[in-house]
């Protein structure tokens, strides 16, 4: 460098031009100068690289050649408008545009255009920069952001990021859905003010501070409520981790929350149901069990332990062990036999047995069970119930005894109504005995003594009459005797024939004829003979009373037997006035009677007796007038 050169010496125009060209060629951005008509006057080296044109091909050409449609067509109109009005859309403003290379490719560019001051006519300079890389990077960043957001939105849990001050920096779609807000309504808002109940805010803020300070307990699983936009509380199960900045310092929290409101509500409802079930089982003395075969793994409910008196800590027992320790000796073999058969047949089975508890008390237990296939063949699962029915059995026995006593009272009542006829039936043979005894005395006092043949005939008659009276008394005694019910195999025709001894005297006293029209043969039935006789006598007695109240009616009661389907039907038929509809409605109600001295128990007890024998008792009009009472009893198989 020449140090003696005069620094004030002015540069020549040639030097100024060279310096300007060097400056333009050194520029990174493309520099283009155009005149007022839009012709290119300057096109620097960067512009050559950017567009692929040498400057020699573009100098003097219109600048539209560097533009794609629709900018190319509209450029002249824009320039004219700007020069006339001075209103700029690009000049002096700068914007992102699309540019066109020599090979026809279009690229995004950042364009800044300015008017050169003092130029006449006007000239303009433009600085253009290819922003393809920046646009690609921005698009890639957007794609990554969108992909990350899609991952967050796909998550079926709430994801919330908080900064150190508790402001929301990120929330996913599920979080917005749970809380009822849009993302824009939540991001940058104070989480605690927006979504936490006022009563919990201080504790929640303290938990945030503790977590940022490194307290591991604050990062453990927690369950807390959030408040939705509508003001509803939802229970959220939270898992939390710290977010760190570039220096490794905790800058916030990322929280994953699952809405467990319905889950906890269902669990609470299930717990309440379980408690109700346990209480109901305790009240009803009703337990359940489950047994897996062949390994015999068992599960008992608490009430099963309570019923048998076993400590739950001792665990359940297999059926064989249960039978050996708790079954009454008289029921053990039957229980095991029925249990094994029920399991082998893989169906439902019903067992009733007695257990002996550790305290020595005996209880009656009823078990209903069913066998189902297990998950893995050939395994089986036996599920069932254990019901302590001791109290029910005692109540049933008391009821049975009460019914038997009431039935006995009803029999005595029937005999009381038939007393006149029975007394007459007994008095007749007694009178005959007295008459024959007096005759034998006269024969013995006759001169020459009694004729042995005549005396023997008198004694035969006395014996016959005594047997006749004794038979009536025997049947009467058997009928009124207070005895336990017992089932026997009966021939209904034979039973009715035997009943005639008791029924006919009452009929004769009341001037009523008793007629039997029995089927030649009827199948046998299983029944208590005394109770069936009681029903028949009650129906015959009612028929006689009905005819006494219907003067002029045929004074006849007919008893018939027949086979109807699989039943034996017995009918007691009268020809009286029939039963009024208003009476028929209450006919079988206890204590309902139309008789002045009646108890109203006869028909009610009769119906209960027939029902206990699996039969039916009813009535229908007799053709031609009167009433037919009928009952059925199921015939014995093969009877």
User: Is 235 exposed, middle or buried (CB count within 10 Å of its CB: 0-12, 13-18, 19+)?
Assistant: middle
The full 3-state SS of 575-628, as one line of letters, equals CCCCCCHHHHCCCCCCCCCCCCCCCCCHHHHHHHHHHHCCCEEEEEECCCCCEE
Can you give the pLDDT at residue 231? 92
366 has which bridge partners?
352, 387
Beta-carbon count within 10 A of 126 CB: 23
Q: Is the domain of 367 the same as that of 416? A: no
327 has which bridge partners?
355
Q: Which one of 234, 259, 284 terminates a domain?
A: 259
- Asked whether residue 380 is assigned to any structural domain, the reply reads yes
Select from 516, 507, 570 the least CA-distant residue to 543. 507
Q: Which one of 329, 357, 388 terminates a domain?
A: 388
Element (H, E) at 426: helix 419-445
- Residue found under tokens 């037997």: 561
Q: Is the domain of 413 the same as that of 557? A: yes
Q: Is the domain of 383 the same as that of 417? A: no
Select from 370, 392, 396 the least CA-distant residue to 381. 370
- Asked whether residue 484 is assigned to any structural domain, the reply reads yes
Q: Which residues of the chain have pLDDT under 50?
A: 1-3, 421, 424
Q: What's the CATH number where 199 sits?
A: 3.30.450.20
Q: Is the domain of 554 the same as that of 438? A: yes
- Asked whether residue 104 is assigned to any structural domain, the reply reads yes
Domain range enclosing 177: 151-259
Q: Is the domain of 457 the same as that of 604? A: yes
User: Is 187 exposed, middle or buried (CB count within 10 Å of its CB: 0-12, 13-18, 19+)?
Assistant: middle
Q: Is the domain of 169 the same as that of 204? A: yes
Peptide bond into 121 cis (omega under 30): yes
pTM for this one? 0.39
- Asked whether residue 266 is assigned to any structural domain, the reply reads no
- Asked whether residue 145 is assigned to any structural domain, the reply reads no
Q: Is the domain of 508 the same as that of 466? A: yes
- In total, how many domains does the chain have? 4
Q: How far apart are CA 165 and CA 209, in angstroms?
A: 9
Q: Is the domain of 302 the same as that of 412? A: no
Q: Which one of 211, 227, 259 terminates a domain?
A: 259
Can you give the pLDDT at residue 194? 92
Q: Is the domain of 85 the same as that of 22? A: yes
Can you give the pLDDT at residue 186? 92
pLDDT tens sequence across 282-315: 776 778 888 888 777 778 888 889 988 999 898 8
- Asked whether residue 268 is assigned to any structural domain, the reply reads no
Q: Is the domain of 294 the same as that of 212? A: no
Q: Is the domain of 239 the same as that of 320? A: no
- Work out whether strand 250-259 and strand 233-244 pair parallel, antiparallel, or are unpaired: antiparallel
Retrieve residue 40's tokens. Answer: 């290119």
Beta-carbon count within 10 A of 241 CB: 11
Can you give the pLDDT at residue 538? 82
- Asked whether residue 8 is assigned to any structural domain, the reply reads no
Q: What's the CATH number where 573 sits?
A: 3.30.565.10
- Asked whether residue 70 is assigned to any structural domain, the reply reads yes
Q: Is the domain of 197 the same as that of 251? A: yes
CB of 202 closer than 8 Å to CB of 186: no
Q: How far apart are CA 290 and CA 307, in angstroms?
A: 16
């Amino acid at each position: 460098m020449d140090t003696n050169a005069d620094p004030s010496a002015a540069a020549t125009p040639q030097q100024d031009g060279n310096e300007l060209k060097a400056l333009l060629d050194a520029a990174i951005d493309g520099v283009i100068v155009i005149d007022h008509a839009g012709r290119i006057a300057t096109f620097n080296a960067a512009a050559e690289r950017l567009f692929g044109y040498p400057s020699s091909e573009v100098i003097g050409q219109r600048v539209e050649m560097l533009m794609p449609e629709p900018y190319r067509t509209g450029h002249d109109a824009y320039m004219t408008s700007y020069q006339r009005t001075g209103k700029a859309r690009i000049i002096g403003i700068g914007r992102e545009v699309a540019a066109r290379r020599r090979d026809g490719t279009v690229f995004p560019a950042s364009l800044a255009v300015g008017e050169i001051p003092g130029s006449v006519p006007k000239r303009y300079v433009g600085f253009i920069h290819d922003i393809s890389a920046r646009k690609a990077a921005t698009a890639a960043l957007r794609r990554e952001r969108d992909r990350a957001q899609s991952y967050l939105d796909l998550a079926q849990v709430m994801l919330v990021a908080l900064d150190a001050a508790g402001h929301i920096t990120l929330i996913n779609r599920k979080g917005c859905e749970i809380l009822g807000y849009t993302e824009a309504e939540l991001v940058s808002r104070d989480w605690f003010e927006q979504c936490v109940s006022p009563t919990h805010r201080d504790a929640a803020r303290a938990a945030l501070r503790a977590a940022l300070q490194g307290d591991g307990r604050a990062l453990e699983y927690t369950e807390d409520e959030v408040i939705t936009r509508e003001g509803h509380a939802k229970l959220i199960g939270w898992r939390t981790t710290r977010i760190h900045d570039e220096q490794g310092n905790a800058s916030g929290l990322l929280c994953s929350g699952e809405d467990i409101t319905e889950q906890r509500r269902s669990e609470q409802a299930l717990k309440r149901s379980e408690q109700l079930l346990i209480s109901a089982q305790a009240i009803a003395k009703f337990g359940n069990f489950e047994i897996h075969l062949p390994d015999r793994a068992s599960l008992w409910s608490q009430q099963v332990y309570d019923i048998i008196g076993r400590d739950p800590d001792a665990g359940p027992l297999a059926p064989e062990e249960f039978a050996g320790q708790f079954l009454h000796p008289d029921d053990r073999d039957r229980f095991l036999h029925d249990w094994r058969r029920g399991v082998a047949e893989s169906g439902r089975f019903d067992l009733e047995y007695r257990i002996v508890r550790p305290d020595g008390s005996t209880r009656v237990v009823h078990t209903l069970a069913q066998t189902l296939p297990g998950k893995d063949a050939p395994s089986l699962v036996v599920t069932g119930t254990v019901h302590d029915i001791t109290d029910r059995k005692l109540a049933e026995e008391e009821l049975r005894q009460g019914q038997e006593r009431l039935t006995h009272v009803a029999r005595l009542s029937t005999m009381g109504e038939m007393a006149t006829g029975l007394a007459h039936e007994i008095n007749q043979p007694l009178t005959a005995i007295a008459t024959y005894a007096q005759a034998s005395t006269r024969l013995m006092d006759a001169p020459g003594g009694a004729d042995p043949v005549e005396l023997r005939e008198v004694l035969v008659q006395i014996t016959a009459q005594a047997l006749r009276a004794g038979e009536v008394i025997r049947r009467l005694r058997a009928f009124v005797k207070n005895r336990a019910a017992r089932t026997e195999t009966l021939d209904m025709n034979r039973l009715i024939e035997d009943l005639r001894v008791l029924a006919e005297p009452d009929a004769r006293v009341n001037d009523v004829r008793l007629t039997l029209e029995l089927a030649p043969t009827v199948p046998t039935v299983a029944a208590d003979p005394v109770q069936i006789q009681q029903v028949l006598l009650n129906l015959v007695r009612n028929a006689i009373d009905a005819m006494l109240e219907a003067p002029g009616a045929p004074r006849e009661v007919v008893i018939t037997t027949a086979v109807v389907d699989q039943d034996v039907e017995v009918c007691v038929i009268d020809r009286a006035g029939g039963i009024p509809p208003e009476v028929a409605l209450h006919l079988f109600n206890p204590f309902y009677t139309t008789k002045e001295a009646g108890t109203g128990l006869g028909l009610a007890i009769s119906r209960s007796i027939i029902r206990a024998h699996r039969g039916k008792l009813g009535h229908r009009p007799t053709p031609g007038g009167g009433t037919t009472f009928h009952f059925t009893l199921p015939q014995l198989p093969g009877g």
